[in-house]
Amino acid sequence: MGTYKANGYGLYDMAGNVWEWVWDRYIGNWYGNAAATGGDTRGPNSGSSRAGRGGCWASPADYLRCSSRGYRVPSFMIRALGFRAALGRP
């Protein structure tokens, strides 16, 4: 633990462990949309796929970054896909 410097949130070694399953819906051309340039970039309000971020232990090195995005349908399961439980600000 602590192999690399902490990120902006004070967390260590987060990218590259498993793909992080996130709440964002995924549509391939979303970032070409003007709505994607605003402060809330959670993605479109509908779609059948959810985004995964960050790459995993089985990914090529260029996928091991927080901005790397993939997608799957919510019923997809694989050992290289996880999620992070988080608590919002009180």
Per residue in 33-75, pLDDT (tens digit) is 887 777 766 778 888 888 888 888 888 888 878 778 888 888 8
Question: What's the average model confidence in pLDDT over 8-17?
Answer: 72
**Does the pLDDT of residue 3 top 80, yes or no?**
no
Long-range pairs for 71-80: beta carbons < 8 A, 24 or more residues apart: 71/26, 73/48, 73/49, 74/50, 79/18, 80/18, 80/19, 80/56
pLDDT of 2 reads 65
**Does the pLDDT of residue 19 top 80, yes or no?**
yes
- Please give the residue that has the higher pLDDT: either 90 or 51: 51
Whether residue 71 contacts residue 51, with contact meaning beta carbons closer than 8 Å, is answered with yes
**Does the pLDDT of residue 9 top 80, yes or no?**
no
Cβ neighbours for 3, distance < 8 A, ≥ 6 positions apart: 12, 13
Which of 60, 67, 54 lies closest to 18 in space, CA to CA?
Answer: 54
